[in-house]
Amino acid sequence: MLFNSLEFAIFLPTVFLLYWFVFNKSIRLQNAFIVVASYFFYACWDWRFLFLIALTSVSSWYSGYLIKYFSNSSHKKSNNKKEKSVLICNIVLNISILVFFKYYNFFTESFASFFTLFGKELNISTLNIILPVGISFYTFQAIGYSIDVYKGKITATDDIIAFLAFVSFFPQLVAGPIERATNLLPQFYRQRTFNYNESVDGLRQILWGLFKKIVVADNCAITVNQVFSSYQEQTGFMLASAAIFFAFQIYCDFSGYSDIAIGTAKLFNFKLMRNFNLPYFSRDVAEFWRRWHISLTTWFRDYIYIPLGGSRVNRYKTVANTFIVFIVSGFWHGANWTFILWGVYHALLFLPLILLNKNRKHLNNVAENRLLPSTKELIQMIFTFILVTIGWIIFRAENMPQAITYISNIFNASLFTVPSYGKMQYLINISAIAFLIIIEWLQRNKQHSLEIKGTGLFKHRAPRFALYYFLVVCIFYFIGEEKVFIYFQF
């Protein structure tokens, strides 16, 4: 069930009405209804994989229960090992499931390819494995809970219904944000009351998310798919244009999903973490990674980078830790060497900043308290965007030779040759991107681009409603065949 589908347009208000008017007698009843609604939502993808969510949920809940039991026992010394063993068993179980479904064929094919370098052909068969949608997201969310319980950051819950709801909460089940138990799980314990202002704000965020997905991302995808499928025949101009369009496609597609997820959660009086914070207004790559896919970036930081020693070790270990995190991040995105190369590429961009202690130079919003950026800030943003876009070419390519050929073919005389075909689609893409940039720039100090709290672009009713109508018209004009969100494959 897609957020941009008719089915979801029926599902959401139905769940909303039942949640607030039928199952509002108790918190436990509401939580149980969320579990049923979330499992139904996921079953619309493929009901056969519901047992994986249930297995991940139950194993993680039980591991937390056991860790709490051992930690409360009088034999503290011997039980420390038991707690750690329980944690490791749960992590191994869930990572094994993830690796099998997501990486089995990749490892098998790579193993066979390695032996062909020595002239030996291995007759190894692969399996026709279907990747369960959202498995990387809910697996990391469940594992994070076990680690937090082990570290004492949160007390293990005895309420399995609340925990099942926490892992399967349908707005963020398929593509995040990857929520921390310390933030989301306690919200399933408290009494929830309908908040009109928060709900209306959620609807605004849903509207902006749909605009980003349907109007910007899906239109850019038309050009991107055409160019990447025939990249060897394209001019440098079209290759560069498609790379830029893909940068906005993946941003609007994924951040659009996050906006819809966060906005939907507000309708049920839940607050999810912000997952994107205007990453293309970043002044260096370090700032970009603080603003892009925040829930995953901070997950890797807290559960891998810092436990490895982070940057508080010698330079060699700092370099190693940086490469480990970015390579794991690349590998998390998919079973392809292009993702690993993409991770290595960003590690190389990030290293100079961290070694020179400049990785936390830009912590505030660009052009704070000013309408326009300075010349220096503008150059920094453009340069950072170019570096990131080169990385997106590697990310989008089907294999490494395609990525290398694509990038090298950009830099020739045809880079300045404007083609005579596809001008209307090109104009639509440029117009949609320009409108997006203007709104997000003017609203850059808000939690989302249609937020009206405090002062800002939409504090007056007339321009606010004019924008709403414009967005709705654009969405209905461009809506057509339902297109899957890019990050569903991860």
Q: Is residue 480 part of a domain?
A: yes
**pLDDT tens-digit profile of 163-215?**
999 999 999 998 879 999 999 999 999 999 999 999 999 999 999 999 999 99
- The answer to whether residue 276 sits within a structural domain is yes
**Model confidence band, residue 118 (pLDDT cutoffs 50, 70, 90):** low
**Domain assignment present for 315:** no
Residues 117 and 263 in one domain: no
What is the torsion angle, in degrees rounded to the nearest 10, for the CA atoms of residue 86, residue 90, residue 96 and residue 98?
A: -160
Asked if the structure places residue 126 within a domain, the reply is: yes
Q: Do residue 30 and residue 165 come from a single domain?
A: yes
Same domain (yes/no): 97, 224? no
pLDDT for 99: 87
Quote the number of domains for the chain. 2
- Looking at 171, 193, 215, the residue that finishes a domain is 193
Under 8 Å CB-to-CB from 219, ≥6 apart: which residues? 425, 428, 429, 432, 478
- Same domain? For 122 and 231 the reply is no
Q: Which of 60-64, 410-414, 455-459 has the lowest mean pLDDT?
A: 455-459
Over residues 449-468, mean pLDDT: 81
* Domain with 481 in it: 198-283+362-489
* DSSP code per residue over 348-391: HHHHHHHHTT-TTS--SPTTTTSSS--HHHHHHHHHHHHHHHHH
Q: Tell whether 22 is covered by a domain.
A: yes
Does residue 121 share a domain with residue 67? Answer: yes
Same domain, 120 and 234: no
- 64 domain-assigned: yes
Are residues 272 and 172 in contact, defined by beta-carbon separation less than 8 angstroms?
yes
Residues 146 and 98 in one domain: yes
Residue 193: is it exposed, middle or buried by C-beta count within 10 angstroms (0-12/13-18/19+)? exposed
Residue 252, pLDDT above cutoff 80:
yes
Active-site option among 333, 346, 362, 448: 333
* pLDDT score at 5: 86
**Do 239 and 377 have their domain in common?**
yes
Percent residues over pLDDT 90 in the chain: 68
Q: Which of 193, 214, 240 is the last residue of a domain?
A: 193
Residue 448 annotated as catalytic: no
C-alpha dist (Å) from residue 171 to 262, 266, 317: 7, 10, 39
Question: What is the mean pLDDT of the segment spanning 93-118?
Answer: 73
**145, 185 Cβ separation under 8 angstroms:** yes
Q: What is the pLDDT of residue 405?
A: 93
Q: How confident is the model at residue 122 (pLDDT cuts 50, 70, 90)?
A: low
Looking at the domain assignment, is residue 296 inside a domain?
A: no
pTM of the model: 0.93
What integer pLDDT is reported at residue 116 of this predicted model? 59
Q: Is the residue at 407 inside a domain?
A: yes
Say which residues have a Cβ less than 8 Å from residue 126's Cβ, sequence separation at least 6.
104, 105, 108, 109
Upper half-sphere CA count for residue 19 (Cβ side, 13 Å):
25
Average pLDDT over residues 365-381: 93
Question: Do residue 121 and residue 208 come from a single domain?
Answer: no
DSSP string for 49-104: GHHHHHHHHHHHHHHHHHHHHHHTSS-HHHHHHHHHHHHHHHHHHHHHHHHHHHHH
Residues written for the chain? 490
Please indicate, yes or no, whether residues 226 and 154 belong to a single structural domain of this protein.
no
Same domain? For 152 and 59 the reply is yes
Asked if residue 143 and residue 255 are part of one domain, the reply reads: no
- To the nearest 10 degrees (0 to 180), the angle between helices 160-168 and 50-71 is 130
How far is Cα 244 from Cα 238, in angstroms, rounded to an integer? 10
Last residue in a domain, options 161, 193, 225: 193
Rounded mean pLDDT of 19-45? 94
Could you give the CA distance from residue 379 to residue 451 in angstroms, rounded to a whole number?
Answer: 28
